[in-house]
Amino acid sequence: MTGASAAEAFDGLPRDVKLANEIAALVWSATKYRFVYKKKAASRTTDTVITYTYFCAQNEKEVTKTRLVDDQRKRRARMKMERFPCNGWLHVTIDSEHPEHVRLRVQHHRVHCHYVDISLSEDITKLLFLSPFRSRMAANADRIQIWTRVLQDYPGTEVTQKQIYALWSRMNEEAWRLDDDQVKSAQKLLEKMHGKEIEIIPIRQEEGLHCIAFGFKEVLDGWAEQNEELAMDSTCKIMIIDFL
């Protein structure tokens, strides 16, 4: 990560953290080994000194074990990045009173293939942001069509459907995220649509819980004569991008 993309990624972080991340990005650019943030530790002798520790993204000792889906029929074989016993570590020590002086210690015991960045390229990002493609997305275009378009234009890409869908979701976030607080955002969205597409149902609030009830007018109109009750449970992470 270099240039403008690095600056944007680190905006809003504390100065010392931002500096440490920028140094890690420079080490990645110079060595082609990516170092991922692990932890920080304050100096025992000087309150203003902190050491930020990063590990090589291909260090086999730092592999996070993926949780398997309980249903074996839904398990899928996935390509995983090759790992190595490289014992790769990066330590960045910064004194907040003298940030111009940085102590850098890099440890890497084995040469291995370089890290391959599969983040979305600028061209693919522009494809999704520029019209007429974005106007189709704003109109709830099928996500499969979006992914198909990316494959057509970039047949050799290593990005995944999940990356494309995540960006698509963020691009359309402004249409439905009306407040940083998720409950308030949902309430504002329902109030905005009340009487048009949905009907807000008054409900007694329980202590310690946030309860929201509403009905879809189109669903009610089409199913009311055939059903006595329709229910939707959104309490089990149903809004995670995988299930959108």
pLDDT per residue as tens digits for the range 195-223: 888 888 888 888 888 888 888 877 667 66
- Within 13 Å and on the Cβ side, how many CA atoms surround 186? 10
pLDDT per residue as tens digits for the range 71-80: 555 544 455 6
Q: What is the DSSP string of the chain?
A: --HHHHHHHHTTS-HHHHHHHHHHHHHHHHHS--EEEEEEEE-SS-TTEEEEEEEETTBGGGPPPPPPPSSGGG---------B----EEEEEEETT-TT-EEEEEE--S--PPPPP-SPPHHHHHHHHSTTHHHHHHTT--HHHHHHHHHHH-TT----HHHHHHHHHHHTHHHH--SSSHHHHHHHHHHHHBTTTEEEPP-PPPTT-----EEEHHHHHHHTTT-S-------SSTTSGGG-
pLDDT per residue as tens digits for the range 141-180: 556 777 888 888 888 777 778 888 777 777 777 777 788 8
pLDDT per residue as tens digits for the range 99-117: 888 999 999 999 998 876 6
CB of 201 closer than 8 Å to CB of 214: yes
pTM over 0.95: no
pLDDT per residue as tens digits for the range 169-200: 777 777 777 888 888 888 888 888 888 888 88
Which tokens in the block code for residue 186? 């949902």
Percent of the chain past pLDDT 70, that is, above it, reads 70
| Predicted pLDDT at 2 | 37
